[in-house]
Every structure is written in structure tokens, then in C-alpha cells.
Amino acid sequence: MAIEILIVDDNADIRNILNDLIIDAGYKTRLAANYNQALSEIDKKMPDVAILDVKLDKGENDGIELLSHIKSTNKDVPVIIITGHANVEMAVNSLKHGAFEFIEKPFDQNRLLNFIKRAVENLNLKSQNRDYENKLFSSYELIGESKNISNIKDQIDKISITESRVLINGPSGSGKELIARKIHKKSKRNNKQFIILNGALLDANKYEQELFGEEKKDGSISYGALEKANQGTLLIDQVSEIPLAIQSKILRVLTDQKFKRLNGNNDINVDVRLICSSSKDLKEEIIIGNFREDLYHRLSVFEINIKPLNERISDIPLLIKYFSKKISENYNIKELEIDNNDTYILNHNWQGNVRELRNLIERIAILQPDSKEKISNIIKESLKNDGFTDKITENNLSIPLKEAREKFEKEYLTIQLKKFNGNISKTASFVGMERSALHRKLKGLGIKEFN
């Protein structure tokens, strides 16, 4: 499909020069002569690349406003800013707002074509990476043997055969989208669309359009997420970020099973299974007035709660082995030999959860170290600011030896218990204690045993 470039300039001569130049280079073009025309063209259909003049008919920084509008809708679209009134401040400001390149008038045609070529290459690379990520993501399995993950796997099997709405709670990067995909894959809707609407990434003014679609004045229709997911599954990610006004409209859809597109008069009936996810506690959001209680009860027919990775340490060695194999296969390199019991890995806080661990394994794969020592060095360098040893040192330098020792033992044994999923026999064997002695030690330190 031909790359389409939007040219926005209030000077007809420059518009025509740019148009001829870009068409001759093999690209399709669309033209806009002022701010409102440009806004209309952008909202009608997002271009692949945009070339914007800074100063149009509305003010001194029309191009910067259009740049911000494009980036708030699709941050991957490369935007080249052109101007006849250039200064350093303007150039810095445009780049700060996400411009791909900045060029002054009168511009060198070969230089501009080179910018466009690089912009298209950048666009294609991002598209390839996105396709790669989606392909990789869809092939991932839910890995782990902790009680939490085992319960979730059981829940997925039971929930998938129903049509009930599901709310998935968990911190960022813990695997909420993967769980939603598994529910869809195991459901009777598995041969239909799985659509994702991310509540945290949408422009506040675009929620209705993205959700319900729009009937435009020229007769064309922009389909929203609900229609795209018809007969399939719609995941509303970070549902806590959706404004209250839109929450009430979602509630109405769930009640009536129909809606109207923006500017539309006819009811649209859809058959969609709704799954929502949140990194925030919706019950707390209800208390502070950010989320509707009636909508919460509609969405949470079934709730799945996935714990942060540092609360299910026993899953980490399995995830390391899984990602090492998966990523090595995708990069077509020898499988990584990463120590599953690496102290830095097991005791890292994992603020980014499973996503952060996967990124670490991928970083190692890209660097392709040729020895276990080099792999260990990469791990230490990557995780050095959050290591267990660093925390122990920092926390215990200013307290008496006995108290420091007890504190160390408590943190150490708590981590080992988590690593072995609460199994006393395995923990005792690893730390070199008799089972009965470990029981007494745990009791003495006030560590609660778990299964």
C-alpha cells in the first residue's frame, strides 16, 4: 500500500512544489491550506507522514498545535516541520513536541526527500516491531506454578466457557493482557476479533469516537471499538482512566445492549464479550469518586487478581527458562544459559513485573554474551540499583549486630519461602536446616508460613 503524506502549508506555490516533488518520489499526497483544513484531514484519516508549516492562519504556532494533535492520537506518525521564520527556540520546541525533523525555507529538495525517506523507514520499522511484538505476545503462555498463577489458570478454564464479563486486576507488566487473550482464545469466540482499547492512552476528547465510532458529514463511517469487536472480545485496558461521563455511557450500553455512533441516529446492536483490566484498586477509585460503583459491579462478574512478580518468586526461574528459550528462538541464536537462581534476579524488586524480566532476557539476547560471567555482569549492571544485598547493607548499617542479623534472617528466609512457593521441606533443604529447626526459626522471627 502506497505511503500517504499530508502537506500543510498556507502558501499555494509551496504546496504545489511539495506536492509535485513528493508524487514524483512515488508517494501519495493530501493537501491542506489552513489550520481547519489540516485538522479535518487528520481527523478524517491519519496520514502515514505529515509535513507541517509552523505558521498558518490561526496563530504563530499552528503547526506545533497540529503536531501535538497528531502525536496525541498516534505517536508513531513521523512529522516534519517546515518554516520560513526559523529560530533555535522554535526548532527545540518542535522537537520537544515530537517532530521527526525540522527544516527551514527555502529548503533543499534533496534534503527534504532524504528526511521523508528516513521518516518512512522509521514508520516501517515501528510497524514491523509492532507486528513482531503482537506475534510474540500471542504465542506467549501463562508461565508459573505459584498458587496465584495456578488459581488463575483454573479460573481461565472455568471463565472461558461462559459469556460473563471479567475484571482483571494487577500491577503494570504483570500479565493482564495475556490473561485476557487466553480467555478469548479458549472461548467460543476464538475465531473472531480480539480488540484492545487502552483507557490510559486515549485523548480525553476521543473516548466516545474510539468506543462508539462516528458518522461523518461526508457520509463515511469511522467504526469504534465496540463494532470492531462485534461477535468477539473487547478488552478495555486501564478502565480506571476512563472519564466518569463515558463510564455512564458504557453502563448504558451494558444495560441496553445497543448504542449510537457519534452524530448517528440509528441504534447499533452488537454482541461483544467485555473484559476490563486495571492497575488501580477500583474500590478505592469508587471511594474517591473516580469510578462509578454501579459500573464496577457490572464489570466484575468474575474477578481475576494477579500478584506482582516479587510476591511469586517461585515463578521467576520458570519464567527465565521460558523467555530464554522463546527469545532465543525468535532471534535465531543459541539458547541463553541464565542461572535460574541468580541472587540479583530473585531478589530484585521487579517494579515492571514480568514485562521487566522479559526485557532483561531480551537485552541479554541482543547483546549475545559468550560466557556465563558476561551474562551475570549484564544482570548485575541492569539490576544494580535494586539488589537485595544493597537493601540489606543500607537498612542495617545503623543498627546493632543482633538486630541486623535478625532482620537479615527474616528477609532472607521470607524470600526463600517465596522462592519455593511456601514449601518448608524444599526451603529447609536449600538453606541447610532441619525441617523442624526451620519451623522454630520462622516462628521465632514472626514469619507466617504459607502454602
Q: What is the DSSP code string of 254-290?
A: HHHSEEE-BT--SEEE---EEEEEESS-HHHHHHTTS
Q: In percent, how much of the chain has pLDDT > 70?
A: 90
SS3 string, 209-243, reads HHHHCEECCCCCEECCHHHHCCCCEEEEECHHHCC
- Considering the domain boundaries, does residue 219 fall inside one? yes
Q: Which of 337, 369, 386 is the last residue of a domain?
A: 386
- Considering the domain boundaries, does residue 325 fall inside one? yes
For 163-192, write each residue's pLDDT tens digit. 999 999 999 999 999 999 999 999 999 888
Which CATH number goes with the domain that contains 435? 1.10.10
Strand 221-222 and strand 267-269: pairing? unpaired
Burial class of residue 423 (count of CB atoms within 10 Å of its CB; 0-12, 13-18, 19+): middle
Strand partners, 194: 233
Phi, psi dihedrals of residue 47, rounded to the nearest 5°: -70, 165
Q: Taking the C-alpha atoms of 221, 227, 228 and 230 in order, what is their torsion angle to the nearest 10 degrees? A: -150
Average pLDDT over residues 105-110: 87
Strand partners, 196: 235
For 289-333, write each residue's pLDDT tens digit. 999 999 999 999 999 999 999 889 889 999 999 998 888 887 788
Same domain, 213 and 273: yes
Same domain, 200 and 239: yes
pLDDT of 390 strictly over 60: no
Q: Which of 132, 153, 171 is the last residue of a domain?
A: 132
Same domain, 215 and 361: no
Q: In one letter, which amino acid is 117?
A: K
Distance, in Å, from the CA atom of 299 to the CA atom of 169, rounded to the nearest integer, reads: 12
Same domain, 147 and 281: yes
- The mean predicted confidence, pLDDT, of the chain is 85
Average pLDDT over residues 55-78: 80
User: Cell 480467555, residue?
Assistant: 183
- Considering the domain boundaries, does residue 363 fall inside one? yes
User: Cell 483507557, residue?
Assistant: 199
- Considering the domain boundaries, does residue 335 fall inside one? yes
- Considering the domain boundaries, does residue 118 fall inside one? yes
pLDDT of 87 strictly over 60: yes
**pLDDT score for 55:** 83
Which CATH number goes with the domain that contains 120? 3.40.50.2300
Same domain, 303 and 314: no
- Considering the domain boundaries, does residue 257 fall inside one? yes
Same domain, 153 and 264: yes
- Considering the domain boundaries, does residue 451 fall inside one? no
Same domain, 336 and 400: no
Q: Which of 363, 386, 409 is the last residue of a domain?
A: 386
Rg (CA), the chain: 27
User: Cell 441516529, residue?
Assistant: 265
Total domains in the fold of the chain? 4
Find the helix or strand (DSSP H, E) in which 252 lies: helix 244-256
User: Cell 512457593, residue?
Assistant: 421
Task: Cite the DSSP H helix spans in 140-175.
Answer: 147-160
Same domain, 111 and 155: no
Strand 221-222 and strand 166-169: pairing? unpaired
User: What is residue 323's three-state secondary structure?
Assistant: helix
Q: What residues contact 431, with CB distance under 8 A and at least 6 apart?
A: 412, 413, 416, 438
For 227-240, write each residue's pLDDT tens digit. 889 889 999 999 99
Average pLDDT over residues 385-405: 55
- Considering the domain boundaries, does residue 450 fall inside one? no
- Of 217 and 186, which is predicted with more confidence? 186
Average pLDDT over residues 125-136: 65
Which CATH number goes with the domain that contains 324? 1.10.8.60
**pLDDT score for 363:** 86
Same domain, 239 and 338: no
Average pLDDT over residues 40-60: 84
**pLDDT-derived band of residue 206, with 50, 70 and 90 as boundaries?**
confident
pLDDT of 424 strictly over 80: yes
Half-sphere exposure of 83 (CA within 13 A, CB side): 21
Cis peptide before 106 (omega within 30 of 0): yes
Dihedral over Cα of 278, 280, 285, 290: its sign: negative
Q: Domain span at residue 395?
A: 389-445
**pLDDT score for 347:** 79
Same domain, 272 and 317: no
Same domain, 172 and 282: yes
Same domain, 172 and 299: yes
pLDDT of 273 strictly over 90: yes
- Of 233 and 444, which is predicted with more confidence? 233
**pLDDT score for 394:** 46
